[in-house]
Chains A and B, each alone.
Chain A
Amino acid sequence: MLEIKNLSARIGDKEILRGVTLSVPDGEIHAIMGPNGAGKSTLSYVLSGRDGYEVTGGEAIYNGQDILALTPEARAAAGIFLAFQYPVELPGVGNANFMRTALNAVKRARGEAELDAVAFLKLARAALKKLSMQDDMLKRNVNVGFSGGEKKRNEVLQMALLQPGLAILDETDSGLDIDALKIVAEGVNALRSETFSALVITHYQRLLDYIVPDKVHVLAAGKIVRSGGPELALELEARGYAGLEAA
Chain B
Amino acid sequence: MDTAIRQNRPRHGLLTFRRLYLDLALIGAGIAAFFLFPDSLGFLTRVLIMIIMVLSLDLVLGYAGIATLGHAALFGSGAYAAGLFAVNFSADPLLGLAVGAVAGAVIAFVSGLILLRAQSLTLLMLSIAVAQILQEIASKERAITGGSDGLLGISMEPIFGIYAFDFVGQTGYWYALTVLTAVFVLLKIIVASPFGLAARGIHESAERMRAIGTPVYWRLVAIYTLAGGVAGIGGALSAQVTELVSLDALGFSLSAEALIMLILGGLGRLYGAIFGTVIFMTIHHLAASVDPFNWLFVIGALVLIVVYFLPEGFIGLPARARKLMRWSP
A and B: partners? no
